[in-house]
Amino acid sequence: MTSVARRPGPAAPVRSQVPGVKPQAVRSKAKPGFVLGVIAVGAVIVLALWWQDTTSVHGLGEWLTGAGRILGLLCGYGVVVLVALMARLPPVERGVGTDRLARWHAMGGRYVVSIVVAHGLLIVWGYAVTARTNVVNESGALLTQYPDVLMATVAGFLLLGVGIVSMRAARRRMRYETWYYLHFYTYLAIALAFSHQFADGASFINSLAARFWWSAMYLTVALLVLWYRVAVPWRDYVRHGFRVAGIRDEAPGVVSVYIRGNRLEELAAEPGQFFRWRFLDRSLWWSSHPYSLSAAPGRDMLRITVKDLGDHSRALRALRPGTRVWAEGPFGAFTANSYAPSRGAVLLAGGVGITPLRAMFASLPGRVTLIYRARSWRDIVFREELDAIARARGGRVHYVVGSRAELGTDPLTAPVLLSLVPGLHKQEAYVCGPAGMTESAVSALLAAGVPRRRIHYESFEF
């Protein structure tokens, strides 16, 4: 592996592989199928516990209440799964990928909110049928007479609210941070609903096994969240002492930030991965943003390269050397783990999606071709570095520059890719860029005969 990129000012040389560090490839990874399997097994256990505790069901009222209870249990379980998906467990982050986890979380959230509404409606209806009253009276009775139902109702509305603000139309209208912090109400909702399960849930009142299983599940997930989202970042902050080392202009609106730290090899970060960065100065300390490593990590230096697309990314230009940094990571499954050097690789970058691919271009062994799509030559970042890496490693860079209108055609079709990369169908492909470009690049790669399992892509949107 070779890295020849020159780095400015205070930076120490980047190494693509740090001696003595266990390569990430041999670190544990949970494959998507395995994670989905574990989630399914958990759901089966939840239903089995309900089955065991339900001896008989008579009449419409009990059927409705039973269906409501099952949905309630699935909702309680679903919330735990949603939180666990975001607990930043390293094997899951590495094996599934943060962007896919975020998609699962968003999809699961929609199911959970729908289930919580159906749970409430079915329980009220079932109780009303059994008590031979109407649903309005029954709702009043449930809210006033049953322990913790009021709290659970508040929890249900909180979940519904979080679901509504997460809908695309609503989310687009608010700042990312506003949406993110509103999400924390989910934890309050879980706390409020938890006691309701134990106090009112028929499956819990008489079953020690159910009480044990559910308590263990909630406790485990709470500990994982505390460990991986609070304790580990704190430990890394103290251990590595991250600080801004310098800033460098790369292109109009694009800067690189160099971050110095101690014993960085212990992080075992890989080219292609990203960290969540919190720069501890007066204006930025309250928000953390994901940025990929744009150079292979060194023992004492990391580099990110950022395009100004909003408040945070724009403010990085003004960071002062010495600013302390809280870095969480490394995250992401966009790495070369499944790559066999004998096959060779094609890297397809669009716009600022070049950042992780720049790091991979310098470090992937074998025959590697980089195709870099940009609207104009001004937008090309790292040109000198990329050309130097290509020369040093005997790789190739193709710059595909210009808008579709200027080029008069889609520049990323299968025939174009095949003409740029001989033997493409045997190679591993890595794609990073805007959503539209990624979609058409993936279709073109498939049409060019690259099997789906060899196409890897990362989205810069969660």
Ligand X SMILES: Cc1cc2nc3c(=O)[nH]c(=O)nc-3n(C[C@H](O)[C@H](O)[C@H](O)COP(=O)(O)OP(=O)(O)OC[C@H]3O[C@@H](n4cnc5c(N)ncnc54)[C@H](O)[C@@H]3O)c2cc1C
Question: Minimum distance between the CB of residue 197 and ligand X, rounded to whole angstroms?
Answer: 32
Q: Does 347 bind ligand X (CB under 6 A)?
A: no
Pairing outcome for strands 274-279 and 428-432: unpaired
Q: Does 326 bind ligand X (CB under 6 A)?
A: no
**Closer to ligand X by Cβ: residue 165 or 414:** 165
Q: Does 281 bind ligand X (CB under 6 A)?
A: no
- Tracing tokens 């049953």 back to the chain, one arrives at 146
x/- letters, 67..96, toward ligand X (CB under 6 A): ------------------------------
Pairing outcome for strands 274-279 and 289-292: antiparallel
**Closer to ligand X by Cβ: residue 69 or 358:** 358
Q: Which residue is nearest to ligand X (CB)?
A: 310
Q: Which of 33, 310, 423, 449 binds ligand X (CB under 6 A)?
A: 310
Q: Does 309 bind ligand X (CB under 6 A)?
A: yes
Distance CA 367, CA 373 (A): 20
Candidates 74-82, 110-118, 307-315, 365-373: pick the segment binding ligand X (CB under 6 A): 307-315
Q: Which of 11, 79, 306, 442 binds ligand X (CB under 6 A)?
A: 306
Q: Which of 312, 393, 398, 456 binds ligand X (CB under 6 A)?
A: 312
Q: Which of 333, 294, 293 is nearest to 100 (CA)?
A: 333
Element (H, E) at 257: strand 254-260
Which residues, numbered 116-155, are part of the site for ligand X (CB under 6 A)?
none
Total of residues contacting ligand X (CB under 6 A): 23
Question: Minimum distance between the CB of residue 168 and ligand X, rounded to whole angstroms?
Answer: 11
CA angle 30, 35, 38 (to 5 degrees): 125
**Closer to ligand X by Cβ: residue 98 or 186:** 98
Q: Does 174 bind ligand X (CB under 6 A)?
A: no
Element (H, E) at 260: strand 254-260
Q: Which of 431, 434, 423 is nearest to 455 (CA)?
A: 431
Candidates 59-67, 305-313, 396-404, 417-425: pick the segment binding ligand X (CB under 6 A): 305-313
Residues whose CB is less than 8 angstroms from the CB of residue 396 and which lie 6 or more positions away in sequence, other chains included: 368, 369, 370, 390
- Tracing tokens 């809280």 back to the chain, one arrives at 326
Q: Does 292 bind ligand X (CB under 6 A)?
A: yes
Candidates 47-55, 117-125, 303-311, 375-383: pick the segment binding ligand X (CB under 6 A): 303-311
Element (H, E) at 430: strand 428-432
Residue 139's Cβ-side half-sphere holds a number of Cα atoms within 13 Å equal to 8
Helices marked H in 247-398: 311-315, 354-363, 383-393
Q: Which of 94, 196, 307, 456 binds ligand X (CB under 6 A)?
A: 307
Asked if residues 374 and 401 have their Cβ atoms less than 8 Å apart, the reply is: yes
Distance CA 395, CA 397 (A): 7
Asked if residues 150 and 143 have their Cβ atoms less than 8 Å apart, the reply is: yes
62: left (phi over 0), alpha (psi -120 to 50) or beta: alpha
Q: Does 274 bind ligand X (CB under 6 A)?
A: yes
Element (H, E) at 291: strand 289-292
Question: Minimum distance between the CB of residue 423 and ligand X, rounded to whole angstroms?
Answer: 29
Q: Which of 157, 176, 185, 213 binds ligand X (CB under 6 A)?
A: 176
Candidates 155-163, 202-210, 264-272, 301-309: pick the segment binding ligand X (CB under 6 A): 301-309
Question: Minimum distance between the CB of residue 267 and ligand X, rounded to whole angstroms?
Answer: 16
Question: Minimum distance between the CB of residue 124 and ligand X, rounded to whole angstroms?
Answer: 38
Q: Which of 77, 127, 204, 291 binds ligand X (CB under 6 A)?
A: 291
Question: Minimum distance between the CB of residue 456 and ligand X, rounded to whole angstroms?
Answer: 13
Residues whose CB is less than 8 angstroms from the CB of residue 131 and which lie 6 or more positions away in sequence, other chains included: 61, 138, 141
Candidates 142-150, 194-202, 262-270, 311-319: pick the segment binding ligand X (CB under 6 A): 311-319
Q: Is the dihedral of CA 285, 290, 292, 293 positive or negative?
A: positive
DSSP string, 200-265: H-HHHHS-HHHHHHHHHHHHHHHHHHHIIIIIHHHHHHHHH--EEEEEEEEETTEEEEEEE-SSGG
Q: Does 170 bind ligand X (CB under 6 A)?
A: no
Which residues, numbered 353-382, are part of the site for ligand X (CB under 6 A)?
355
Candidates 200-208, 285-293, 321-329, 383-391: pick the segment binding ligand X (CB under 6 A): 285-293
Pairing outcome for strands 243-251 and 254-260: antiparallel
Q: Does 352 bind ligand X (CB under 6 A)?
A: yes
Which residues here bind ligand X, judged by CB under 6 A? 98, 176, 274, 287-292, 304-307, 309-313, 352, 355, 460-462
